[in-house]
């Protein structure tokens, strides 16, 4: 799919779920945009995704060294930690977000202290605020709630393309239920989250066919005004509890059809 002269590929599809006894899954969306002479990745996934991100890029004939830009929506570990994979990339992050993350005490449950500190010293770091143009035609908007400085990125579609706009909202609206409810299960302020999700709705309704990419769910479009997932989750856990290495049990996590 193309938006504003950029081709969109989802390298890793986020998943809406948590574990019962092992914390958050951190299965977040990693998206690739190519166009206007740029190779940009929006959020970089968690540590366990390193291999699959590199493999997904190679599948598209892209090497990590080819990536020119990283756009980070926020500084949770499962979205930012792999900035170190891309030696030539310019990195864009929200000014408010970086200031907030740097001010946290050691031991925050979700923000990786050392990766944030190193990022702040990065020679090609660009810190931006609301309304900044971060790549040709791509604008960052502040949508706080999940974190105080969370950004979304809006790629306006062109008339010669078949879709509307592209909204990369990541954890400002992690999954479908949050869009429906204008509420989140992780927020520092419910009213601020509600206002940010309302802002997202304003962008989403602007043009028919606009695609919304959340941080932990399938991409969605509006059908008769209702958020509708494209495709189904492709997720499973492989348990190795037998007596041989090949004795494996796969637990499909796709969920019910249409769910």
Footprint on this chain of Zn ion (rule: CB under 5 A): 76, 171
* Residue among 35 and 214 whose Cβ is closer to Zn ion: 214
CA distances (Å), origin 229, targets 41, 75, 204, 212, 237: 22, 26, 14, 9, 22
Q: Are 31 and 39 contacting, i.e. CB atoms less than 8 angstroms apart?
A: no
> Please, what is the minimum distance in Å from the beta carbon of residue 170 to Zn ion?
7
- What are the helix (H) ranges across 48-127? 50-59, 77-80, 95-102, 113-120
Which residue's Cβ lies closest to Zn ion? 76
* Residue among 2 and 76 whose Cβ is closer to Zn ion: 76
> Please, what is the minimum distance in Å from the beta carbon of residue 73 to Zn ion?
8
* Residue among 164 and 217 whose Cβ is closer to Zn ion: 217
* Residue among 65 and 99 whose Cβ is closer to Zn ion: 99
* Residue among 192 and 221 whose Cβ is closer to Zn ion: 192
The Cα 104–Cα 58 span in angstroms is 36
> Please, what is the minimum distance in Å from the beta carbon of residue 5 to Zn ion?
29
Return all residues near 130 (Cβ < 8 A) that are at least 6 apart: 140, 141, 142
> Please, what is the minimum distance in Å from the beta carbon of residue 207 to Zn ion?
27
Outline where DSSP puts E strands in the chain. Answer: 2-3, 6-12, 30-35, 38-42, 69-71, 90-94, 125-128, 133-135, 138-142, 151-155, 166-170, 211-214, 220-223, 226-229, 236-239, 249-252
| Surface-to-core class of residue 106, CB atoms within 10 Å of its CB (0-12 exposed, 13-18 middle, 19+ buried) | exposed
> Please, what is the minimum distance in Å from the beta carbon of residue 79 to Zn ion?
6
The Cα 204–Cα 198 span in angstroms is 10
> Please, what is the minimum distance in Å from the beta carbon of residue 209 to Zn ion?
27
* Residue among 62 and 169 whose Cβ is closer to Zn ion: 169
> Please, what is the minimum distance in Å from the beta carbon of residue 74 to Zn ion?
6
Q: Are 228 and 216 contacting, i.e. CB atoms less than 8 angstroms apart?
A: no
* Residue among 214 and 219 whose Cβ is closer to Zn ion: 214
């Amino acid at each position: 799919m193309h938006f504003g002269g950029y081709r969109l590929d989802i390298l890793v599809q986020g998943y809406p779920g948590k574990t019962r006894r092992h914390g958050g899954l951190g299965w977040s969306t990693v998206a690739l945009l190519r166009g206007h002479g740029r190779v940009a990745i929006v959020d970089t996934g968690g540590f366990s995704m390193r291999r699959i991100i590199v493999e997904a890029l190679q599948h598209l004939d892209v090497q990590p060294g080819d990536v020119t830009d990283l756009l980070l929506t926020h500084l949770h570990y499962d979205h930012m930690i792999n900035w170190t994979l891309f030696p030539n990339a310019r990195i864009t992050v929200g000014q408010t977000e970086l200031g907030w993350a740097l001010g946290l005490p050691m031991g925050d449950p979700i923000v990786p202290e050392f990766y944030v500190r190193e990022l702040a010293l990065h020679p090609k770091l660009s810190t931006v605020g609301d309304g900044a143009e971060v790549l040709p035609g791509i604008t960052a908007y502040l949508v706080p709630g999940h974190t105080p400085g969370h950004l979304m990125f809006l790629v306006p579609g062109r008339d010669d393309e078949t879709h509307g706009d592209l909204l990369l909202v990541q954890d400002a609206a992690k999954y479908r239920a949050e869009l429906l409810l204008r509420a989140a299960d992780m927020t520092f302020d419910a009213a601020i989250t509600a206002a940010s999700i309302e802002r997202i709705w304003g962008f989403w309704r602007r043009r028919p066919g606009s695609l919304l990419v959340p941080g932990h769910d399938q991409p969605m479009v509006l059908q008769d005004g209702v958020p509708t997932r494209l495709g189904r989750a492709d997720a499973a856990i492989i348990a190795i509890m037998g007596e041989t290495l090949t004795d494996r049990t796969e637990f499909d996590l796709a969920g019910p059809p249409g769910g």
